[in-house]
Amino acid sequence: MGLDIRWPIGLMFTLIGALLAVYGLSTGANTELYKSSLGININLIWGAVLLGFGILMLLGAVAGGKKPPGK
């Protein structure tokens, strides 16, 4: 077949997760910004979650592209 759907999904989640995690790291000292979320840096947490999911998708796409010998 042609395109594995895990490639674009993995790239999208990795990019958005990295952007969100960097934003969370850069605004981590701003306690006023995270007052509504009970002081939890939600941007950093969800950025890491999205980044991890994106990396898992990319690893699955790489592993799925390898064919066993003889096939």
CA–CA separation, 52 vs 15, rounded Å?
11
Contacts of 53 (CB under 8 A, 6+ apart): 13, 17
69 found inside a domain: no
Q: Which domain holds residue 20?
A: 6-64
70 found inside a domain: no
Give 31-54 pLDDT, tens digit per residue. Answer: 888 888 888 999 999 999 999 999
- Asked whether 28 and 47 are in contact (CB, 8 A), the reply is no
Chain centroid to Cα 22, Å, comes to 12
- pTM for the full model? 0.83
71 found inside a domain: no
33 found inside a domain: yes
**What local confidence, expressed as pLDDT, does residue 68 receive?**
63
Q: Which two tokens stand for residue 28?
A: 């981590």
Number of domains in the chain: 1
